[in-house]
Structure 1
């Protein structure tokens, strides 16, 4: 903002002690700003006091929405030199808060300040650097009863505070200048950052985090899966590391039952095997096999994709699980020594043993989805 002015809009400053958690202090010149939503401290003071830093992501905006990104905040105790007042405050860290204040030196004698007044900043009239800024959250709590209007400058006042008497308002100046300081400051998490976080929360992760067992199962599938001349997939059983212990068992017998659906076009009778049935040792086939990651899309994705187009088609793979073969080394051993045996036939008829296809209802069935 630029204007030709013959008076100085005087902003209040004070000298205080800032103290860290170890009790070490530094005398600092602070700017009391009712137009700021946050407190600020310079990088040099924060480093001098060795204040512990917290990571933040805050956008600080001022006039015309000019913004600065803040990455760190610190805490320190503000102590008054005028009274016993102290307050622990959180500050946002900036390299520099503002230019020297005031912008030009003021004739202190012309203000006729009473001699018995304890000024919060005895050298308020000299341009000096600002070490910290106290915002509106604390400013009005610092005010005390007591206000004096300066005789030669009726638009300026002396205001009593917990930090001492501060000088603020319009002060006549013989110097004409074309620069006006404005310290209106707001802080907030950036809008684009808020939107980003919102979408990150709502977004389905693009990368799936796999457990160790899921990673091992994926590696097993990639290293051992083959295709026969007809193109059918041939899989190996992904046994857990303790499979040697399980091998000592005679094998697994898988109970099964038929699911009959006369209205089904492709599969009217579907056999479902119970791979979770415990053996006499209390271990089932599913207990001995690793479980791979879920490879189907989430229902939300399916519904979203379904609604993305005007027309949708559905299809079914006939006897899908039965299309996947078990490796001969596993199948010939009835799923390893013999790991699994599926018994066919009635109770009073000769029993038949079958193997070689992926049974629906076992942990291995998930591999068949591959």
Structure 2
């Protein structure tokens, strides 16, 4: 939380002057406080590590990562929505998801920590609020700090919450005067906390206390969840026979293809025998192709591809007249302006009653376009 104290109704007895019934009060009573900033490395999706600035916050129930850093790391995201509340019941919602991260001390291989971090746009204002001169504090001169820790004001990329604080901090302390910052030891190196006496009082306060309400995520999930109503499809008698035929006759061949017998509703022998009519149409097609060598070459190549793909097979012996045979002649369909295939194969029925009219109809499993209603929220 980034709070402007000008919006707070706080009064101070310091620097107040009373006279003639007039009281002047100064609200800028807060000394600048140094927050513990650690320099560490975080792993991205390729396994490479990146140097980042992390704020150690024992008052946060969760870990947070900025949206910019999450986009840079390209780690897989988990969809989630969390309600975040803090001081004075101020609340916000983080609905950009979360990521699982691995962090380790800068330029070291261990220890490493795995954590889940909630993605948020920003964590807090740039820290520290002003550049610090470590050498100005006598008790800190012999300690090593990273140049990106306190020497410049910069954005915070990561917030490590209370679950990691006990494993990050150790028992080392280096103190000076009561009004000077304290150096605290950690696995990431030395951290600074306390008052910055070298700066004037500030009117801005950074408070990073965060309480995560997981119930909000469940609430949002239920709100956007689409209810699935199980409905039993009503079938006409003929559609029920067709579906039963599919269940009982569908099988898979050794080459992986599905094989299904045609679902005739009537005796297919009633279609008749049209071998001679089919042969006559075939001869007419050959005559047409003989007058156009380019068309003949293209159609022959097309049919050869059909043969290689086993969409059709060669009849080795003529069918017997006693068996039911149905002949479906083919012809070429030329589409000069077609998007991909310029030539295609067409079929035409010979009999007045086509073969398809003898087949059962499958049940309609999709709604008509005019029956579909789109609900918006």
Normalization by structure 2: what TM-score? 0.52
Query: Matches of 2:106 and 2:195 in 1, distance apart?
Result: 26
Q: 1:147 aligns with which of 124, 148, 173?
A: 173
Q: How many residues align?
A: 223
Deviation of 1:67 after TM superposition, in Å, equals 1.1
Which segments of 5 or more consecutive residues in structure 1 lack a partner in the other structure?
A: 221-235, 249-370
SS in 2 for 1:96: coil
Query: Matches of 1:238 and 1:53 in 2, distance apart?
Result: 46
- Contact kept in structure 2, 1:6 and 1:174, CA below 8 Å: no
Q: 1:134 aligns with which of 150, 160, 181?
A: 160
Q: 1:101 aligns with which of 108, 119, 127?
A: 127
SS in 2 for 1:117: coil
**Residue 124 (structure 1) aligned with residue 145 (structure 2):** no
- Contact kept in structure 2, 1:40 and 1:133, CA below 8 Å: yes
Deviation of 1:153 after TM superposition, in Å, equals 3.1
Cα offsets for 1:61-88 (capped at 9, x unmatched) = 2333221223311122111027532112
CA gap 1:144/1:206 in 2 versus in 1, 3 angstroms: closer
**Residue 188 (structure 1) aligned with residue 188 (structure 2):** no
Greater strand share, structure number: 1
**Residue 161 (structure 1) aligned with residue 162 (structure 2):** no
Normalization by structure 1: what TM-score? 0.53
- Contact kept in structure 2, 1:148 and 1:157, CA below 8 Å: yes
Query: Matches of 1:198 and 1:90 in 2, distance apart?
Result: 23
Which segments of 5 or more consecutive residues in structure 2 lack a partner in the other structure?
A: 6-26, 246-262, 268-377
CA gap 1:216/1:189 in 2 versus in 1, 3 angstroms: same
SS in 1 for 2:191: strand
Q: Relative to structure 2, which stretch is displaced further, 85-94 or 172-181?
A: 172-181
Q: 1:43 aligns with which of 67, 84, 108?
A: 67
Task: Give the RMSD, CA atoms, in angstroms.
Answer: 3.1
- Contact kept in structure 2, 1:159 and 1:167, CA below 8 Å: yes
Query: Matches of 2:220 and 2:111 in 1, distance apart?
Result: 42
SS in 2 for 1:240: helix
1:172 alignment counterpart: 197
1:67 alignment counterpart: 92
**Residue 19 (structure 1) aligned with residue 43 (structure 2):** yes
Query: Matches of 1:127 and 1:48 in 2, distance apart?
Result: 21
**Residue 215 (structure 1) aligned with residue 233 (structure 2):** yes
- Contact kept in structure 2, 1:7 and 1:173, CA below 8 Å: no
Query: Matches of 1:18 and 1:197 in 2, distance apart?
Result: 30
Query: Matches of 2:75 and 2:164 in 1, distance apart?
Result: 20
CA gap 1:15/1:186 in 2 versus in 1, 3 angstroms: same
- Contact kept in structure 2, 1:6 and 1:176, CA below 8 Å: yes
2:105 alignment counterpart: 80
2:241 alignment counterpart: 240
CA gap 1:74/1:9 in 2 versus in 1, 3 angstroms: same
- Contact kept in structure 1, 2:40 and 2:53, CA below 8 Å: yes
Query: Matches of 1:183 and 1:159 in 2, distance apart?
Result: 19
